[in-house]
Amino acid sequence: MTDLKERNDFQERAATPVLMGLGLLAVIAVTILLTAFVLLNVTREIALVFASVLAAGILGSIALYASKDELTSSQRAVASLPAVLPLLIGVAVAGGLGGLADADLNINRLPIEVGIPFPADNSVTVVASDSIDFETESLTFPSGEEAVGILFQNNEAGVAHNVWIATQKGSIGESRALPNGELILDGGDAVTGVSEIEYAFTTAGISGDFVFWCTVHPNMEGPVTIGEDLELSAT
Ligand SMILES: [Cu+2]
């Protein structure tokens, strides 16, 4: 009988830290997933406010937890509120903004089409020879084309460049999360020179003023115009 009791005690003592660890991991995982959901579904401004309030709330909860050695379960619930409330409100707001226009989203979902074959007969050439400027200053494309192409020649040995096109360029570090910019061409990872790469994208349903730039060196940029009466050109 005593043996059994001791064994049970031991099992309880051994199991508790493991369960607590697993529980903590689960809480962290859920927090990360919900945070990502919110950040990807709100505007940039709301995302900044949300991230700040959430960070402050988590710190507040930790401070409340640390201020007492033993917390009753109701005290625990109160101490968790500063961290949990912003997350719940954020999820509600992000869910409620389901109808937000794509262009207003923090990450846009337009109209990157992968797998378009490079149209050699419908493409222009963009050249980079240094990290200051593209040699190619501006681009125009006819709108309504299923596939147009850019043959990008990176002539700078040992240096990586790429070409992205959007309504608004991203800066270093946020080039993959363009602020309110409709992305036309995702230039992907940069290619190290000397080399060339073919980019293909569609101008179907697209017209207006855009910018092409290198996400590694955002100072490398130029205007892109897409319009019905425009010819394919690179100057
Ligand atoms: Cu570059």
Top pLDDT among 46 and 55 is at: 55
pLDDT score for 184: 86
Final residue before a domain boundary, out of 109, 129, 153: 109
> Which among 109, 143, 167 is the end of a domain?
109
Cβ atoms 111, 105 nearer than 8 A? no
Torsions phi, psi for 134 (to 5 deg): -70, 145
Question: What domain range includes position 51?
Answer: 2-109
Query: Considering its fold, how many domains does the chain have in total?
Result: 2
In a domain, 115, yes or no: no
pTM here? 0.53
How far does CA 164 lie from the centroid of its chain?
Answer: 15
CA of 213 to the centre of ligand 1 (A): 8
Rounded CA separation 223/137 (Å):
7
Out of 76, 109, 142, pick the residue that ends a domain.
109
Whether residues 52 and 157 fall in one domain: no
**125 plus 103 within the same structural domain:** no
Percent of the chain with pLDDT over 70: 81
Asked whether residue 114 is assigned to any structural domain, the reply reads: no
Strand residue runs (E) in the chain: 123-128, 139-142, 148-154, 160-161, 164-166, 183-185, 191-192, 195-201, 208-213, 221-227, 233-234
Strands 164-166 and 183-185: antiparallel
Residues 187, 162 share a domain? yes
CA of 55 to the centre of ligand 1 (A): 34
Average pLDDT over residues 184-211: 91
Q: Which residues line ion ligand 1, judged by CB < 5 Å?
A: 161, 214, 216-217, 220
153: CATH:
2.60.40.420
